[in-house]
Every structure is written in structure tokens, then in C-alpha cells.
């Protein structure tokens, strides 16, 4: 079939001889594809570090009292785990890796708008990561405030908060620069003929995400910087003993950090909107609705931050308004889920690994989203706030949502990025294992939380023992699945068969160039004449036509 | 073979293709857009602090009122004039370059940088005066005052301090531009870098325009 041609006789971007060779070819590159791969390596590494910390925490919870660590170590572990997973894995994850690699190709461009800023942004990311790591070994010891840096504790604790804040600030800058780059790229570098509504949905999702990155990040940047200044010279802005208001800190923090939740999830939704039509072999249902709902989520997402503070002192009016807006965000998310399901309906579905990742996503994310409504309702939140229910909820949303789709995207685009195919049997088995482990680990946490198990404790009452053991066993299964999944991909890198240009029969532009793509992506900039998922119009794929350009 | 390919490769010259070359990427509109987006994030950065200012002013109206009396309005006004004029000179410098007058452009840019230094020197004297009077974060003089006044001066030092850092960054950027013009890297044909540096400098100015009344005039 036309789809399964392997392009020869061209130089892919790994082999192309540029100005620099060896390590320099990577570290000094401005090629968006190489930068994407560098993000991939760094981000997966940090993910594994974070997962190890989570694993160790669960090990501590295997039995009551001290199991493998003391309380202070546990405090540091959940803080570091949270910070790494949020700032170094999930926020930069999909935009950094797949946005960089695929956005220009999907738009029919040769690179992003500002290639050098793009490299700078990677360096900022790496230095932020290094600062975070260094802060652990400084004399104050690893930070123990929780990933939210709540004052006044973050002002008083003897641990090295300021370094970690510096790290977060730098990571924020990196995120801003990436966002700015993507917005400009989307405005300026779409191929001729690609109107806004002919853009792939992944690009739409990145666009909405980039705006959030730009609008929300500076606020938290300055807020965290003020905490560091407060520690340094005691200006009093967040210190109640000098008149400062800790609640104001919480507002400023969540004004960013809640929209940031959408930085984590919107790109994932974009990836799902790419994978589903490809594997249903059917035009996406409700293209415009999905595109616009990304923007709607980004917009409404700004007005819900207060739901993190229902129990920390707000007027009743503020509380019910925030509760209402919280329910409103559920709508555009629901629109997306319905559209995906409708796309599958009557499609000729091929159960490839990436699609199974999407199924896992819809399942887990829906549980996360619905339990979010439980927390968004005032009465139930008062009972459940700061319990394991919350821990379960956000793992379902960010990990089951964003995290799983990060790996789903990796499986979808792996053949394109590396030009190799992987063993689908193993990847499906790994995914199944991960879902089972995930459910054992986190679903039990809903019950634990409902029964009153508070979060951020290294110990528990006897009645919680059984469920905690189940959760810990779940964490072993989950981590096992993750390791098999990554191992499988590493094997594929070494031994995988050569991938064709369009192994899944996708319709977006990245499938019209060879795997892996040449340095300039396209021999000639394509001219777009119709929508990105036009299966009726173009049933057999156009890979063969593209092929001729490389012979 | 499928005729109705989704993307059609044409031999026709493609619009904007020259924009996409990797290194000599030249897209003045895109560059300006990037700068405007960045300036927006800068505004939001200060926006966070203005929000804090607004909240604490609302909570401590009297203290903010009386503390503001202690700031030196004359230096403040003077600095405002300096910055406004420097915004003018940087704009003129861009126009001069557009018109092909490199010498004048360099001169005006140098004047802008001189103004920026002048602003900082005034700021230095102003701060030292304050510190000399024992008013700085953590000083015994300040800790004995009301919470509202502590907050006012805390904000004063932080906000003018962060603004000062921006002035310094502005000096660095403008100096680079000056060197670029001299070395003919920024030319009458290709002056976009100077133009967006000018935008940045205007932002530094605009932020001061807000800081000045909030700290010096609202009494
Ligand atoms: C192998 C996978 C993972 C395991 C075993 C794991 C386990 C845990 C555990 C045991 C806690 C502490 C609960 C408590 O005592 O309060 C926790 C907290 C947390 N986790 Fe995970 N987690 C994993 C993956 C992730 C991922 C992928 C993310 C985000 C993308 C994430 C984000 C967080 C956050 C934000 C916290 C809260 C930290 C805090 O309280 O400051 N985790 N996790």
C-alpha cells in the first residue's frame, strides 16, 4: 500500500553534516527536531527520577511507623516529587518534546519562528533542572514545603527554599520563551493556504497552551521571587508578623498554578485529537468545536483558581462563584470527550498502541474530571480537602491525563522521530500493566481519602493499613509497566525495523515527509488546499506522491 | 496514483518561503510580535506586584498615605522627566537610522543610555537618603512603625528595585545596539533589532509612569 513506502536517498536530520560535529551538533543546534529530542532525553530522565521518589514514598507507606525513612525525609520527598513532576516533567513535557519536533512540520514550516531562542529555552530548562538538583545538596537540606511553597512556612523553614525558587523562576522563563515562540510560529509560519481552521488540532492546542504560559507564568514568577526576597531581607509582603497576608500569596500562586493545570492537559488533548482520527480512519467529528473549546478552557481556566482555597479563608460569595466557574470548565472538556467518542463511532477502528493510550486517557481522565467536580462542590470539599482524595484526583488528571498521553504521543510519533518501529505486543502489555497498577495505586486513594487519610503524612492509623498495602503493591506494578514500556522503546531504537513514511495512515503533514525527516523538513513548502483530517477526500494517502520528491 | 493529494507540491514560488530559512531568518513582523508578547509578560510580572500594592493599600490606607509623604517627590519628578525624554531620544534614534543617518542615530542612542545612567544615579541618591534615615527592610527604625508602613516601604524597595533591574538590562541592550550600528550589523535597511529594543525601552518607561504616581503622588 502507498502508505508503507520507506523513503531512501535522502539525508535525515540525524545524519546531516552541519556546522558542528559530535556533541556540538546537538548542544549548539538550532534545529527544532534536535531540540525536541534533547528535551525528550532530559524530560524522561526527570520523570524517572520523580517516579523513583514516588516509589520510595509508597514503600514508606507499606507499613505503619517508620519503614524506610523518617518524617523529614518524607516531607522532602513529596516536595521534590511534586516539583519535579510538575515543573520538569508535565509542564514542559508535550510542548517541549512534541511541540518542538512537530509543530513546524505540521504547519509546513522549516523551523520555529525563533530557532535560537528555542535553544536558549532548552538551556534554561536544563539549568532550572540543575538548580533544583543542586538545592537538594546544599547545607539547608532538601526543601520540605510541599510543591506549593505556601507561606509563612516557606519563609520560616531552614531548608533551601530560595534555590528551588530560583530554579522554578528559570523554568518559568523557559516556558514563557517556548510559548512566545510557538505563538509567533503559528501566526507567521503556516504554509500557504493553511487558514486557521485548516490547522491540525494539536497546533490549536499548543496555541491555547502557549497563551496560558505567557499570561500566567509571570505572575507566579514574581510571587515566588518575592518569597525568596522575603527570606533574604524580610520585606514583610507575605509575613503575617509584618502585616503581610499569606492568603494573598495563595491567591497569587493559584492564579498561575491553576491555569498551569491546563498547560498540562491541553497539549495532551491536542495529541488525542490527532491520534483518534488516524486510528478511526475518519475525519474528526466537530473540528471547530474542539479547536474553540481549547481556547474556552484556556479562558475559563483563569477564573477558577479560588477552588484551591475553599477552606483557607474566603468570603462565601467568592466561594460559590469559584465553585460555579469550576463547574463551567467541565463543559468544554466534556465537549472534547464527546467529539472524540463521536469520531470513533462508525469509524474503521484499528487498535494500535497509540489509540489504546487514548482509551486509557479517556477512562482515567474522566474519573479525574468527575472527582474534580466532587471537590469543586463546596460541601464535599470541606470534608475531602487535604486528604488522599485530592492526591488521587490530581494523579488521575495530570498523570492519567497528561502523563499517559505524553507516552501515547511518544508511541504515536516514535516511528517518525526515530525512523524505527517498536514491538506493539510488548507496548500494549506494558500499557495494560500500567493501567492496572495505576488503578490499584490511586483508586484506593479515593477510598482512603474519603475515610479520612490526610495527605503529606508519613504514617497512618491502623484502619488504613490494608488499603495502603494495596496502593503500594499498585505502585510496584505501575513502575514495572513503565520500565517495560521504556525498555521496549530502547530496544526498538537499537533493533527496530525501519519505519515507513506513514505507518499509521495519518493525514497531517508530518506523515508526508520521510521518517526521520530531513533537516529542512520539506523540499518545498507545501501548499494546503483542505482540512487536516480529510479522509473522504483523500482515501489512499499521498505518501507515494511525496515519495517521488526524494528519488 | 492518487491525484487528489492533500498537499500539492508546486513549483510556483511560495509566499513567505524566504522567511523560513534557518539562519538568515528575517521576519520583522514576527520579530515585533515576539517582542510585544514578551512585553506583555513583563507587564504581567509587574501586574502581580501592582495587585499586591492595591490590596495592601486597600487594607492600610492611612499608613500608605503617611509613608508616601517621606518620599522625595522632586527626585521622583525629575526621574520621570529623564525617562520620558529618553523614550523620545530612542524613538528619534530609530527614525534617524531609517532615514539613513547613522551618526545621528548613534548619537541619540548614546544620549538615551546617558539618560538611563542618570536615572540610576538619582535612584542611588534617593535610596541612600532613605537608608541613611534608617528606613530599609529589617531596620530597627522601620520595624517599630506600623505594619502598613513596613509594607509600603517593602513594596517601594521591591518595585523600584525590580524596575531598576530593568533599566540596567535596558542599558545593556541599548549598548549592544549602539555597537551593532557602529559595526554595521544594524543598518538603515535592517533595523528591526534596534526597533524592538526601542519597544523594550518604552516599556521600562511606561512602568515607571505607573510607579511614580503610586508611590510619590498618591498621598
Ligand atoms: C510512578 C509514578 C508516581 C507515584 C508512585 C506517585 C506517588 C505519589 C505519592 C505517594 C505522593 C504523596 C502523597 C502524600 O503523602 O501526600 C505523591 C504526591 C504528588 N504527586 Fe505523584 N506519583 C507518581 C507520579 C506522578 C506524576 C506523573 C505527577 C505529575 C505529573 C505527580 C504529581 C504529584 C504531586 C503534584 C504531588 C503532591 C506533592 C505535594 O504534596 O506537595 N505524581 N505522588
CA distance A366 to A333: 9
Contact B147/A at CB under 8 A: yes
CA distance A449 to A455: 8
Q: Of A192, A146, A202, which Cα lies nearest the Cα of A408?
A: A202
Asked if the structure places residue B15 within a domain, the reply is no
List the 200-229 stretch of A: residues with Cβ below 8 A of B. Answer: 214-215, 217-219, 221-223, 226, 229
- Measured in whole angstroms, the distance separating CA A448 from the mean position of its chain's CA atoms is 27
One DSSP character per residue, A285-319 reads TTHHHHHHHHHHHHHHGGG-GGGG-TTSS--HHHH
SS3 label, residue A9? coil
Domain count along chain B: 1
Asked if the structure places residue B182 within a domain, the reply is yes
List the 68-127 stretch of B: residues with Cβ below 8 A of A. Answer: none
Q: Is residue A421 a contact partner of residue A492, using CB atoms and an 8 Å limit? A: yes
CA distance A261 to A125: 19
Q: Would you call B41 and A542 a contact, using CB atoms and an 8 Å cutoff?
A: no
Residue with cell 510619590: B216
Ligand 1 center from residue B175 Cα (angstroms): 47
Q: Would you call A509 and B7 a contact, using CB atoms and an 8 Å cutoff?
A: yes
Asked if the structure places residue B23 within a domain, the reply is no
CA distance A67 to A507: 53
Helix, strand and coil content of chain B, in percent to the nearest 5, comes to 75, 0, 25
Q: Is residue B48 a contact partner of residue A219, using CB atoms and an 8 Å limit? A: yes
- Where are the alpha helices (H) located in A12-114, listed in sequence order? 23-27, 32-60, 71-83, 91-94, 100-107
Question: What's the pLDDT at A234?
Answer: 83
Asked if the structure places residue B2 within a domain, the reply is no
Q: Would you call A526 and B7 a contact, using CB atoms and an 8 Å cutoff?
A: yes
Mutate-to-test residue for ligand 1 from A69, A308, A395, highest number of ligand atoms within 8 A of CB = A395
Q: What is the CATH number of the domain that holds B113?
A: 1.20.120.80
Find the CB nearest B41 among A111, A218, A528: A218
Ligand 1 center from residue A46 Cα (angstroms): 14
Ligand 1 center from residue A207 Cα (angstroms): 28
Angle subtended at Cα A87 by Cα A85 and Cα A90, rounded to the nearest 5 degrees: 55
Does the CB atom of residue A480 touch ligand 1 within 6 A?
A: no
B96, containing H or E segment = helix B73-98
Predicted-assembly ipTM surpassing the 0.90 threshold: no
Q: What nine digits make up the cell of A434?
A: 500500567
CA distance B55 to B49: 10
SS3 label, residue A499? coil
- From residue B60, how far is each of A218, B68, B217 by CA, in Å? 26, 12, 17
Find the CB nearest A221 among B20, B34, B45: B45
CA distance A520 to A316: 57
Mutate-to-test residue for ligand 1 from A62, A68, A85, highest number of ligand atoms within 8 A of CB = A85
SS3 label, residue B7? strand
Question: What's the pLDDT at B22?
Answer: 39
Residues 6+ apart with CB under 8 A from A519: A11, A13, A16, A18, A31, A33
Asked if the structure places residue B36 within a domain, the reply is no
B18-51 pLDDT per residue, tens:
343 334 457 889 999 999 999 999 999 999 999 9
Question: What's the pLDDT at A282?
Answer: 87
In chain A, which stretches have pLDDT less than 50? 1-2, 538-551
Question: What's the pLDDT at B6?
Answer: 35
CA distance A332 to A208: 13
CA distance A396 to A342: 23
Identify the residue whose C-alpha is closest to ligand 1 atom 22.
A54
Q: What nine digits make up the cell of A533?
A: 483530517
Q: Which of B1, B2, B5, B6 to mutate to test the interface with A (most CBs of A within 10 A)?
A: B6
Q: How confident is the model at residue B7 (pLDDT cuts 50, 70, 90)?
A: very low
Find the CB nearest B25 among A108, A115, A512: A115
Identify the residue whose C-alpha is closest to ligand 1 atom 20.
A82
Residues from chain B that touch A520, judged by Cβ atoms under 8 A, are 22
Q: What is the mean pLDDT of chain B?
A: 86
Ligand 1 center from residue A274 Cα (angstroms): 28
Residue B171 clears pLDDT 60, i.e. is over it: yes
CA distance A70 to A65: 9
Q: What nine digits make up the cell of B34?
A: 515576539
Q: What is the dihedral of CA A479, A484, A487, A493, to 10 degrees?
A: -130
Find the CB nearest B14 among A221, A245, A525: A525
Domain count along chain A: 1
Q: How many Cβ atoms are within 10 Å of A145's Cβ, its own excluded?
A: 22
Range A389-414 burial, b when 16+ CB lie within 10 A, else e: bbbbbbbbbbbbbbbbbbbbbbbbbb
Prediction pTM value: 0.90
CA distance A280 to A219: 41
Q: By residue range, what is the domain housing residue A305?
A: 2-550
Please report how many Cα atoms fall inside a 13 Å half-sphere around the Cα of residue B127, on the Cβ side: 16
Count, residues in chain A: 551
Backbone dihedral region for residue A244 (phi beyond 0: left; psi -120 to 50: alpha; all else: beta): beta
Asked if the structure places residue B121 within a domain, the reply is yes
CA distance B169 to B165: 6
Report the relative pairing of strands B7-8 and A527-528 from DSSP bridges: antiparallel
Q: How far away is chain A from the Cα of B95, in angstroms, using its nearest Cα? A: 26
Q: By residue range, what is the domain housing residue B207?
A: 42-216
Q: Is residue A253 a contact partner of residue A220, using CB atoms and an 8 Å limit? A: yes
CA distance A449 to A381: 11
Range A240-278 burial, b when 16+ CB lie within 10 A, else e: eebbbbbbbbbbbbbbbbbbbbbbbbbbbbbbbbbbbbb
Residue B14 clears pLDDT 70, i.e. is over it: no
Does the CB atom of residue A54 touch ligand 1 within 6 A?
A: yes
More confident residue, A528 or B90: B90
Please report how many Cα atoms fall inside a 13 Å half-sphere around the Cα of residue A369, on the Cβ side: 21
Q: What is the CATH number of the domain that holds A329?
A: 1.20.210.10
B118-122, B159-163, B168-172, B184-188: segment of lowest average pLDDT: B184-188
Find the CB nearest A236 among B6, B33, B151: B151
CA distance A362 to A338: 10
Question: What's the pLDDT at A17?
Answer: 77
Mutate-to-test residue for ligand 1 from A391, A434, A485, highest number of ligand atoms within 8 A of CB = A391
In a 10 Å sphere around its CB, with 0-12 CB exposed, 13-18 middle and 19+ buried, how is residue A378 labelled? Answer: middle
Q: Is residue A111 a contact partner of residue A33, using CB atoms and an 8 Å limit? A: no
Asked if the structure places residue B21 within a domain, the reply is no
Question: What's the pLDDT at B9?
Answer: 36
Q: What is the dihedral of CA A44, A49, A54, A57, to 10 degrees?
A: 170
Q: Of A267, A296, A475, which Cα lies nearest the Cα of A391?
A: A475
Q: Is residue A277 a contact partner of residue A343, using CB atoms and an 8 Å limit? A: yes
Does the CB atom of residue A403 touch ligand 1 within 6 A?
A: yes
Asked if the structure places residue B158 within a domain, the reply is yes
Residues 6+ apart with CB under 8 A from A309: A247, A250, A251, A254
Cis peptide before A327 (omega within 30 of 0): no
Amino acid at each position: 500500500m502507498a502508505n508503507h513506502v520507506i523513503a531512501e536517498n535522502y539525508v535525515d536530520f540525524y545524519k546531516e553534516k552541519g556546522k558542528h560535529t559530535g556533541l556540538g551538533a546537538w548542544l549548539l543546534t538550532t534545529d527544532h527536531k534536535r531540540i525536541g529530542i534533547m528535551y525528550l532525553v532530559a524530560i524522561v530522565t526527570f520523570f524517572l527520577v520523580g517516579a523513583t521518589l514516588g516509589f520510595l514514598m509508597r514503600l514508606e507507606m507499606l507499613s505503619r511507623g517508620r519503614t524506610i525513612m523518617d518524617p523529614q525525609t518524607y516531607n522532602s520527598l513529596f516536595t521534590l516529587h511534586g516539583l519535579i513532576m510538575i515543573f520538569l516533567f508535565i509542564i514542559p513535557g508535550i510542548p517541549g518534546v512534541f511541540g518542538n519536533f512537530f509543530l513546524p512540520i505540521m504547519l509546513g514550516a522549516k523551523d520555529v519562528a525563533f530557532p535560537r531562542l528555542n535553544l536558549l529555552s532548552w538551556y534554561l530548562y536544563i539549568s532550572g533542572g540543575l538548580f533544583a538538583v543542586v538545592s537538594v545538596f546544599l547545607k539547608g537540606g532538601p526543601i520540605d514545603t510541599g510543591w506549593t511553597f505556601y507561606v509563612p512556612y516557606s519563609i520560616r523553614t531552614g531548608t533551601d527554599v530560595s534555590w528551588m525558587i530560583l530554579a522554578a523562576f528559570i523554568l518559568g522563563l523557559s516556558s514563557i520563551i517556548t510559548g512566545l515562540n510557538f505563538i509567533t510560529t503559528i501566526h507567521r509560519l503556516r504554509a500557504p493556504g493553511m487558514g486557521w481552521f485548516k490547522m491540525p488540532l494539536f497546533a490549536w492546542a499548543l496555541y491555547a497552551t502557549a497563551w496560558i504560559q505567557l499570561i500566567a507564568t509571570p505572575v507566579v514568577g514574581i510571587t515566588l521571587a518575592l518569597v525568596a526576597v522575603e527570606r533574604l531581607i524580610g520585606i514583610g509582603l507575605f509575613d503575617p508578623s509584618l502585616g503581610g497576608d499569606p492568603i494573598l500569596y495563595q491567591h497569587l500562586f493559584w492564579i498561575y498554578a491553576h491555569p498551569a493545570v491546563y498547560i498540562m492537559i491541553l497539549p495532551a488533548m491536542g495529541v488525542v485529537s490527532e491520534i483518534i482520527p488516524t486510528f478511526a480512519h475518519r475525519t474528526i467529528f466537530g473540528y471547530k468545536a474542539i479547536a474553540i473549546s481549547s481556547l474556552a478552557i484556556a479562558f475559563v481556566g483563569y477564573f477558577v483558581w479560588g477552588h484551591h482555597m475553599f477552606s483557607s479563608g474566603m468570603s462565601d460569595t467568592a466561594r460559590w462563584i469559584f465553585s460555579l466557574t469550576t463547574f463551567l470548565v467541565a463543559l468544554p472538556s466534556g465537549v472534547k470527550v464527546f467529539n472524540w467518542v463521536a469520531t470513533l463511532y462508525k469509524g474503521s477502528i484499528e487498535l494500535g498502541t497509540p489509540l489504546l493510550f487514548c482509551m486509557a486517557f479517556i477512562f482515567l481522565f474522566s474519573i479525574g474530571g468527575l472527582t474534580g467536580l466532587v471537590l469543586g462542590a463546596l460541601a464535599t470539599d470541606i470534608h475531602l480537602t487535604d486528604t488522599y482524595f485530592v492526591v488521587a484526583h490530581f494523579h488521575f488528571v495530570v498523570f492519567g491525563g497528561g502523563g499517559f498521553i505524553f507516552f501515547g504521543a511518544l508511541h504515536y510519533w516514535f516511528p517518525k522521530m526515530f525512523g524505527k518501529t517498536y514491538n506493539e505486543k510488548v507496548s500494549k502489555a506494558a500499557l495494560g500493566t500500567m493501567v492496572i497498577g495505576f488503578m490499584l495505586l490511586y483508586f484506593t486513594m479515593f477510598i482512603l481519602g474519603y475515610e479520612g487519610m490526610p495527605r503529606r503524612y508519613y504514617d497512618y492509623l491502623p484502619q488504613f493499613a490494608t488499603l495502603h498495602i494495596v496502593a503500594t503493591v499498585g505502585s510496584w506494578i505501575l513502575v514495572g509497566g513503565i520500565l517495560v514500556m521504556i525498555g521496549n522503546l530502547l530496544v526498538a531504537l537499537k533493533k527496530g525495523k525501519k519505519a515507513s513514511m506513514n505507518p499509521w495512515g495519518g493525514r497531517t503533514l508530518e506523515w508526508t515527509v520521510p521518517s526521520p525527516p530531513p533537516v529542512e523538513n520539506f523540499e518545498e513548502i507545501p501548499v494546503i488546499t483542505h482540512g487536516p483530517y480529510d479522509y473522504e477526500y483523500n482515501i489512499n494517502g499521498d505518501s507515494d506522491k511525496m515519495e517521488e520528491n526524494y528519488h | 496514483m492518487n491525484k487528489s493529494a492533500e498537499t500539492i507540491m508546486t513549483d510556483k514560488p511560495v509566499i513567505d518561503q524566504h522567511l523560513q530559512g534557518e539562519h538568515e531568518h528575517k521576519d520583522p513582523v514576527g520579530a515585533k510580535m515576539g517582542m510585544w508578547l514578551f512585553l506583555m509578560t513583563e507587564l504581567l510580572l509587574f501586574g502581580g506586584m501592582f495587585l499586591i500594592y492595591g490590596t495592601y493599600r486597600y487594607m492600610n490606607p492611612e499608613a500608605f498615605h503617611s509613608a508616601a509623604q517621606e518620599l522625595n517627590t522632586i527626585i521622583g519628578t525629575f526621574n520621570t522627566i529623564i525617562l520620558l525624554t529618553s523614550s523620545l531620544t530612542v524613538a528619534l534614534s530609530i527614525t534617524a537610522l531609517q532615514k539613513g543617518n547613522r551618526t545621528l542615530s548613534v548619537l541619540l542612542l548614546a544620549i538615551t543610555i546617558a539618560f538611563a545612567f542618570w536615572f540610576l544615579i538619582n535612584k542611588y541618591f534617593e535610596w541612600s537618603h532613605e537608608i541613611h534615615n534608617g528606613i530599609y527592610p529589617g531596620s530597627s527604625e522601620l520595624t517599630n512603625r506600623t505594619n502598613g508602613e513596613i509594607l509600603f516601604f517593602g513594596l517601594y524597595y521591591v518595585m523600584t528595585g525590580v524596575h531598576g533591574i530593568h533599566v540596567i538590562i535596558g542599558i545593556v541592550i541599548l549598548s549592544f545596539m549602539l555597537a551593532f550600528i557602529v559595526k554595521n550589523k544594524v543598518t538603515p535597511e535592517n533595523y528591526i533589532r534596534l526597533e524592538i529594543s526601542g519597544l523594550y525601552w518604552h516599556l521600562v518607561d511606561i512602568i515607571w509612569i505607573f510607579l511614580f504616581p503610586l508611590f510619590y503622588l498618591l498621598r
